[in-house]
């Protein structure tokens, strides 16, 4: 998989240094009625048609739909059967109902060109997410971080990242394209952390000026 466009420099990770500059504008699609994440949209432009994509804890499939619409082959997984019903008629999407926290990792031995995780945190999955990347594969991860409590749920620390946790976990194994941590205002105020990392398969997969 080739990466299409140069990633912009990461914003400061310090909570008080800067709010994340939203490109956080509303977009079409929805996850329980929500629009696709601008962070995911930013990196989706780098994923070529025909690429294999895994949408983890997909909800109603806002990101599965996004990638399927650009010609990718999407595996979407969630423990909620209603998620599968919402995706049943979406061409290019294969849904699996599975308990990612109480059962085995359902994609053992498989690799993907992109793995997407948003608004979901189960730390034991970290190694599986990294191992699921093919050479040149891209992990796009965005969820809530400590400090989000003042904006609303989740408030349980088990469901909130520690500051720089994504960078510490995935930056040690994968090449970091971009990392941001701070406050966004859209679609609603939240404190988030988000990262885009790639499994480098030689220098070609790290070419920031590659175009398709």
Domain borders along the chain are 38-206
pLDDT of 4 strictly over 70: no
Q: What's the rounded Cα separation, in Å, for the pair 86 and 106?
A: 21
Structure confidence by residue, pLDDT tens digits, 148-190: 878 888 888 889 999 999 999 999 999 999 999 988 888 888 8
pTM over 0.95: no
- The token duo for 137 is 């594969």
- Four-way CATH pick for 38-206: 3.30.750.24, 3.40.50.10800, 3.40.190.10, 3.40.50.150: 3.40.50.150
Q: Indicate whether 53 pLDDT > 80.
A: yes
How many percent of the chain have pLDDT more than 70?
79
| Exposure class string for 121-156: b at 16+ Cβ within 10 A, else e | beeebbebbbbbbbebbbbbbbbbbebbeeeeeeee
Phi and psi at residue 176, to the nearest 5°: -85, 125
| Torsion angles phi and psi, residue 41, rounded to 5 | -60, -40
Mean of pLDDT values over 80-85: 92
């Amino acid at each position: 998989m080739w990466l299409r466009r140069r990633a912009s420099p990461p914003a400061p990770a310090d909570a008080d240094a800067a709010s994340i500059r939203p490109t956080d504008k509303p977009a079409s699609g929805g996850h329980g009625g929500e629009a696709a994440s601008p962070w995911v949209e930013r990196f989706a432009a780098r994923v070529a048609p025909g690429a294999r994509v895994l949408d983890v804890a997909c909800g109603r499939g806002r990101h599965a739909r996004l990638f399927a619409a650009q010609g990718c082959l999407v595996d979407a997984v969630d423990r909620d059967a209603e998620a599968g019903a919402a995706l049943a008629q979406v061409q290019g999407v294969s849904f699996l109902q599975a308990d990612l926290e109480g059962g085995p990792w359902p994609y053992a031995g498989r690799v993907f060109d992109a793995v997407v995780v948003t608004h979901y945190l189960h730390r034991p999955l970290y190694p599986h997410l990294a191992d699921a990347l093919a050479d040149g594969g891209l992990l796009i991860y965005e969820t809530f971080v400590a400090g989000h409590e003042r904006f609303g749920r989740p408030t349980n620390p088990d469901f909130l990242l520690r500051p720089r946790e994504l960078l510490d976990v995935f930056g040690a194994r994968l090449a970091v394209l971009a990392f941001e941590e701070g406050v966004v205002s859209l679609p609603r105020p939240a404190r988030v952390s988000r990262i885009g990392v790639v499994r480098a398969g030689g220098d070609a997969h790290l070419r920031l000026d590659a175009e398709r």
